[in-house]
A and B are shown apart, each in its own frame.
Chain A
Amino acid sequence: MELSTNTNKLVSEDERQHPTETIQYIVIRLGDEQYGIDIRNIETITRMQHITRVPKMPPYLKGVINLRGVVIPVMSIRLRMNLAADEITKTTRIIVLKLAEEGNVGFLVDEVKEVVSLNSDDIEKIADNNKEGRTNLINAVGKHNGELISLFDLNAISLEG
């Protein structure tokens, strides 16, 4: 409890120092690339578990899992973005997002790496580039310690789901 209040204070102090907005992102890995998801949209992150297949679904909808008594659909971001199919390893995680309209949805990711804070200065919006289907889901790129992090546009994910 104390810890969290401390961090809250830190965040607010941070904000006072920087007039620009700071958003925390969870950094995940898909293959060799890093992606960021706005932490405010994340319900929970769970280890890989058995996914119950649902027949007659598009391939990227892997099925459903039981998250503490609630049935949650899980999809593969890799398949959504036309990447190679997921390889389940020890580091594979299911990130459960809470979406306003659709309720909770899980996403398979190769690894969850860290949490980073990005200033809006560090974020560059990218124009819609439909050449490859994959860029549809990405609407910005963040710079962090000299690395680039592609940021997911959660609206796009939820809309097409």
Chain B
Amino acid sequence: MDVSQYLEIFLDETKEHLQNLNTRILELETDPENSDTINEIFRAAHSLKGMAGTMGYKRMQNLTHDMENVFSEVRNGTIKVMPEMIDVLFQCLDALEEYTDNIQSSADEGTNENEQLIKKLNDILKGESGDGAGSGAEPKKTEETGQASRPSGETGENKWDQIPLDSTQISVLREAMKQGKKVYGINVMVQESCILKAARAFLVFKAVEELAEIIVSDPSAQDVEDEKFDRDFTLIVLSDSDLDSIVHAAENVSEIEKATGAPLVLENNKSVAAEDKAEAEEKAEESEKPAAAPVAPAKADAPKPVATAPAAASAAAPPAAAKAADHKKQAPAKPVVNRTVRVDIEKLDALMNLVSELIIAKNSLVSSANAGQEQQTSGATHNSFNEQIEYLESVTTNLHESVMKVRMVPIESVVNKFPRMIRDLSKKLDKKMELYMTGEETELDRTVVDEIGDPLMHLLRNAADHGLESAELRAQRGKPAVGSIFLDAYQDGNNVVIEVRDDGNGIDVEAVRNKAIERGTITPEQAVNMTDKEIINLLFLPSFSTAKQVTDVSGRGVGLDVVKSKIESLSGEVEVKSKLGEGSTWTIRLPLTLAIIQALMVVVGDEKYAISLGSIQTLEDIPASDIKLVQNKEVIHLRGNVIPLIRLNQVLDVESKRSEEDNLIVVIVKKGDKMAGFVIDELIGQQEIVIKTLGKYIKQCKFISGATILGDGEIALILDANALI
């Protein structure tokens, strides 16, 4: 069956479940007795297993199956949650994530069996410590399969011997035997409680097909799919693998009570005995009429796989499997998984409403145009025409906004993985720490959210690794033993601010200064004049971050340039505040969305420019006499701040239209703590603009971040205030 169409959904949901599991297991670690959490974990693991099974990802299914076993025991109270167990579970989640990644990139889960993990899980089940060597605790499954396959060989009367075979099939089997292939008969019994027999049977088919070629099935594959069978079905397969592995594969499907199998002896088959008579040249599968096979009593009591019992009740119905199409055609299609955005229904409703309004507006326009043709002289139609256009305008504006909102996703999806990461770091670094997050619901453009994960992770790692002091030092300084790391996100005007804060050591400015001089990044003379802030900013230089020594001295600088460049590529900025001994705060500022911004339109010379509203503080009207000179640079004194002036006409190489004596129109912009005043000729006003790139040819110009198309079709360039300050 081709399940590739469900791949996207599968991946989406798997990731969701994994994230859920991560969060819940973290909860479980702090509160091992919480039955709600345990139930939730159990449910998530169970759904994962069902989904993986439906999609035919067997390794993934195996692993989740064993995890589920553990959770089930925890739920029943037979096993207590222990730290080692949590560790093992987290490793399992990592393994599952690896599978998922493989599936996403190649539609294949990969070949890692993760036997170690499965063994550890089984050890836990047996009440042993997960890390114990436990050589006695060989994976249960081999025992099971051993038992499962043994009894079948003993009895001469096997179900597969009763399958009617036609002459073509017999010759195929004979030929294969001659070539040294092995022919097995396999009987699979579905659990009585099983609801979706066909689906389970399909999974068995699929599992068996991975190892063997199915020659005959009884009832026919079609009948099995249509659920026209009682509780068991029988297969004759050709394979190179050994019987145990095939039986094991079949049995591993959930809700399969047991599978038995044995090498097929052709001569035992009834049809072979009567081959001379049966020579009909009918096509294989159609001719097969299930010969009312008597339900053979179970030959031996093969032990049930432990987990199938609890799983049975809440069978994760695989809707896909039910309509199993031609399962013999294996579809190795490798679908490219598209990136998707999950959209809140409300947002879609809003969109829908706007579109209907748009249609109404269009209709009104059409009707007023028609009316206009009838009575061309009437001024009334002209008025209503204008009215309609205004209406249309407001609708399109709202429509635009709504579409933009659809692209917005909460940063939750990114930051959710951090608690787990901090936990792991805490163990690895042997430091006690706690992550406090707020504002996970803050929304950002999807593209930004996708990219922001790595930089944030970097900063958090830095905070955990280098920021927080060792336990002794913390004790000395009278800080609480458990270090705190904060991740706060909030919206601030047109920006979203994400802060990573720790109460650790902070940045040792002197150490950085010395190192910078030593490395020749700055001269000692420069160093004297540089402020602490400027020194700290050196950390963002690429040359600094690659230097291992700096890490040793200052404890900072690993990949900070990467963080900075990543964030700048998202049109954001990052800055750091730090106080030695008290901790540091890294602040990332990102535009809400990349495609559309609020901007102030200004005129310089006879050209129009846009300045992002996000960086603008105030607009000032300054008399020319207020300009002072400091170090031969023009500054103004404004409410206690000395602000350098930048004459945009000089920067942009245009003639200003204003005379020297005129008052200056100054746009005060702010970048972090730095301020500057842009002197412009004229203000046009605030406008929402759509950012367009200038293309590859025009990239040399640093302070032009893009262009936008104005209402009259003209282009205005967007000034990047940050690059100008």
B-binding residues in A (CB < 8 A): 50, 52-57, 61, 64-66, 69-73, 75, 101-105, 161
Contacts and interface: CB of A to CB of B under 8 A. Distances in A.
Contact of A71 (B607, B653, B695, B700): B695
A141 B652 CA distance: 41
B709 interface: yes
Contacts of B695: 71-73, 102-105
A70 B693 CA distance: 9
B653 A52 contact: no
B694 interface: yes
Nearest to A49: B713
A105 B697 contact: yes
Given A50-B714, A56-B653, A71 B701 contact: no
Contact of B707 (A52, A56, A104): A52
10 contacts: A52-B715, A52-B716, A55-B651, A55-B652, A55-B654, A57-B701, A64-B694, A71-B694, A71-B709, A105-B697
A50 B608 CA distance: 13
A71, A102, A104 — most chain B CB neighbours (10 Å): A71
Contacts of B692: 70-71
Contacts of A64: 694, 698, 707, 715, 717
Interface in B672-702: 692-698, 700-701
Contact of A54 (B651, B696, B704): B704
A91 B679 CA distance: 39
A52 B698 contact: no
Q: Which of A50, A53, A61, A101 has the most CB of B within 10 A?
A: A53
Closest 5 CB pairs of A and B: A52-B715, A73-B697, A71-B692, A55-B652, A102-B696
Given A52-B716, A71-B707, A57 B694 contact: no
Contacts of B713: 66
A136 B309 CA distance: 79
Contacts of B717: 52, 54, 64
Contacts of A66: 709, 713-715
Given A69-B709, A70-B692, A71-B709, A54 B714 contact: no
Contacts of B709: 66, 69, 71
Interface residues of B, number: 22
A115 to B, nearest CB: 27
Contacts of A56: 653, 700-701
Contacts of B653: 55-56
Given A53-B607, A64-B707, A71-B715, A101 B701 contact: no
Interface in B85-121: none
Q: What is the interface of chain A mostly: helix, strand, loop, or mixed?
A: strand
Contacts of B607: 52-53
Interface of B: 607, 651-654, 692-698, 700-701, 704, 707, 709, 713-717
A71 to B, nearest CB: 4
A75 to B, nearest CB: 8
B709 to A, nearest CB: 5
B716 A73 contact: no
Given A55-B701, A71-B709, A73-B697, 17 more contacts: A50-B714, A52-B717, A53-B607, A54-B694, A54-B701, A55-B653, A57-B701, A64-B698, A64-B715, A64-B717, A65-B715, A66-B715, A69-B709, A71-B692, A73-B694, A104-B695, A161-B697
A21 B715 CA distance: 41
A112 B701 CA distance: 32
A68 to B, nearest CB: 10
Nearest to B709: A66
A54 B717 CA distance: 8
Nearest to A54: B698
B698 A61 contact: yes
A100 to B, nearest CB: 11
Nearest to B648: A55
A65 B715 CA distance: 7
Contacts of A57: 698, 700-701
Contacts of A71: 692-695, 707, 709, 715
A138 B694 CA distance: 27
B696 A103 contact: yes
Contacts of B697: 61, 73, 75, 102, 105, 161
A101 B714 CA distance: 26
Contacts of A61: 697-698
Contacts of A72: 695
Nearest to A56: B701
A52 B701 contact: no
Contacts of A65: 715
A157 to B, nearest CB: 11
A91 to B, nearest CB: 22
B602 to A, nearest CB: 14
Give the interface centre of A56, A70, A72, A73 by most chain B CB atoms within 10 Å: A56
B719 to A, nearest CB: 10
A149 B695 CA distance: 31
B698 A73 contact: yes
Contacts of A101: 696
B704 to A, nearest CB: 6
A110 B347 CA distance: 51
A132 B700 CA distance: 26
Most chain A Cβ neighbours within 10 Å, of B653, B694, B707, B715: B715
A72 to B, nearest CB: 7
A50 B696 CA distance: 21
Contacts of A105: 695, 697
A50 B710 CA distance: 13
A73 B694 CA distance: 7
Contacts of B698: 54, 57, 61, 64, 73
B609 to A, nearest CB: 10
A157 B704 CA distance: 24
Nearest to A70: B692
Interface centre among B651, B694, B697, B698 (most CB of A within 10 A): B697
Contacts of A102: 695-697
A151 to B, nearest CB: 22
Contacts of B715: 52, 64-66, 71
A52 B714 contact: yes
B201 to A, nearest CB: 53
A6 B709 CA distance: 39
B196 to A, nearest CB: 52
Contacts of B704: 54-55
B508 to A, nearest CB: 40
Contacts of B696: 101-103
A61 B698 CA distance: 9
A70 to B, nearest CB: 7
Contacts of B651: 55
A75 B654 CA distance: 20
A126 to B, nearest CB: 27
